[in-house]
Amino acid sequence: MKQMKVEGGHKLSGTITISGAKNSAVALIPASILSDEPVKISNIPNISDIDAINEILNYLGAKVTRSEDYMEIDASQIENKEIPQNISTKLRASYYFMSALLGKYKKVEMYFPGGCSIGARPIDQTLKAFELLGAKVVEEDNKYTITAEKLKGANIYLDMPSVGATVNAMLVAVKSEGITTIDNAAKEPEIVSVATFLNQMGARITGAGTSTIKITGVEHLHGCFTEVIPDRIEAGTYLIAGALIGDQLTIQNMIPAHIEALTNKLSEMGYPLTIKRDSITISAIDNKKPVHIKTLGYPGFATDLQQPITALLTQCDGKSILEETIYENRFKNIPYLNQMGADIVIDGQKIVINGKTPLKGSSVTATDLRAGACMILAALIAEGTTTITAIEHVLRGYENIVEKLKSVGAKIDLEEI
C-alpha cells in the first residue's frame, strides 16, 4: 500500500503536459477486439486502469505489444471465455468487453463491472440496448450470460445520456445487421473518439458528439491506427492546481474546448486565462468570486471535476453552491476537507461551501479517484504537510502525477506503508 505526502504552500510554475485520456483509452482497447486484423493505438496513459483492462485482453488470449504509450492489439485469435468476477470488478470499463464480445461472437459471459464507489451505477441502459439489438440477457448472482441468434439494428432511446451505455450500444450496433439509432446519446469527446476509431476500422457511424448517433452495421472490421485524445479531466485538475497556487502554470497538449465549462467558471471567479490552441496558462489570484456549479453531461460541467473544484471553492470569498446531478455518492471528500479547515455543509445532492477558509495539513484518505485528486489540490495550499492514504485510487487515473507536480515546484512524494 502507498500513501502520499504533500507539503503545502509551494508555488507551481512551468509546464505540465497532459497524457492520453483514461476514459477514452479504456474504451478504445476493448473496441479493438472487434477488428479482424491488428490495430495500433498511441498516446495510451501509463495508469493502473490500463493495466487492468490489458489483463482482460491477455486473459482472452489477444496478442498485445505495449511499449511506452503505444499498443498493438491482435485479437484475431482470442477465445471467447467467461470473464471472471475478480477481473471484471477491477474497473467500470470492463463492461466494454461485454459489448465487444457480444458484437463479435453473439455471446458473452461476464460479471457486473467495478469502478469507484460513487453511486449505484446500474447498467440497465446497456442491457436494454443489448435486448433491443436482439440479445437475450440472463442474470444470476451478478453473472450475465448474454446471447443472440442474430443481432439486428434497432432504435434505442437512452433514459439518460450514459457514456457507458452509448459506447456499449455502438460496439454491438456496428456488428448488427441494418441500421441502429441511439437517441439521447452521450456527447462526451470520448464517444467521438470511439466512433472515429470504429469508422477507421470500416464501421459506418454518423452523429457521434450529438444526441443522435446512427450506425449502419457491417460484417467485418479491419486494422487501423488511432491516437488517444488528451485527458480533459487531468487537464482540468492541473488547471485548478494552477488556480490555487500557480504562478504562470501552463497546461499543454490539451484541447481547451473540452473543458470550457470549467474555464467559464474560472472566468466567473475572476481568473484571467491565456487560452491557446492546445494550452492554457493560469496564475493564482486574490479575491475570487464564489460561484454556483451544477454537474451535467458534456458539454456541461463534468462530474469528474466536481470534487477537484471543491478544493478551489473553499478559497472563494463567500458562499458557493455545487449540485451533483450524476452520482448519488460523490461527496466523500467533504468530511476530509472540513477536517482540513473548510466550512462545507452537505444538503442532499448539493453542497454549500462557505469561503474563504485557510486549510491545514492533516491525515486524509483518497476515498475514490477524483476525491483523491481533490485532497491533493487541497494539500497543495494547506499549511504544513498532508498525508493521503489509499492513494492507489489516484494512480488508477493520473499518469505520473507525482513527477508532473514535482516538475513544476510541488513538494510531493509517494511512500510505501
Q: How far apart are CA 16 and CA 396, in angstroms?
A: 19
Which residue in the list 116, 224, 316, 374 is annotated as catalytic? Answer: 116
Q: What residues line the site for ligand EPU (CB under 6 A)? A: 23, 26, 92-93, 116, 119-126, 160, 162-165, 186, 303-304, 326-327, 369-370, 397
Position of minimal CB gap to ligand EPU:
164
Kindly tell me which of 69 and 234 has the beta carbon lying closer to ligand EPU. Answer: 234
For residue 359, what is its C-alpha cell?
486549510
Most distant CA atoms of the chain, gap in Å: 64
Does residue 28 contact residue 197 with C-beta atoms inside 8 Å?
A: yes
Beta-strand relationship, 212-216 and 204-206: antiparallel
Convert 246-272 to b/e letters by CB count within 10 Å (16 or more is b): beebbbbbbbbebbebbbebbeebebe
Kindly tell me which of 28 and 382 has the beta carbon lying closer to ligand EPU. Answer: 28
Is residue 116 among the annotated active site residues? yes
User: Of the candidates 204, 206, 172, which has an alpha carbon nearest to the alpha carbon of residue 192?
Assistant: 206
Kindly tell me which of 256 and 372 has the beta carbon lying closer to ligand EPU. Answer: 372
Query: Helical H runs in 359-417?
Result: 369-381, 392-395, 401-407
Q: How far apart are CA 216 and CA 176, in angstroms?
A: 8
Does residue 217 contact residue 180 with C-beta atoms inside 8 Å?
A: yes
Neighbours of 160 (CB within 10 A): 11
Length of the chain: 417
For residue 64, what is its C-alpha cell?
498485445
Residues acting as catalytic residues: 116
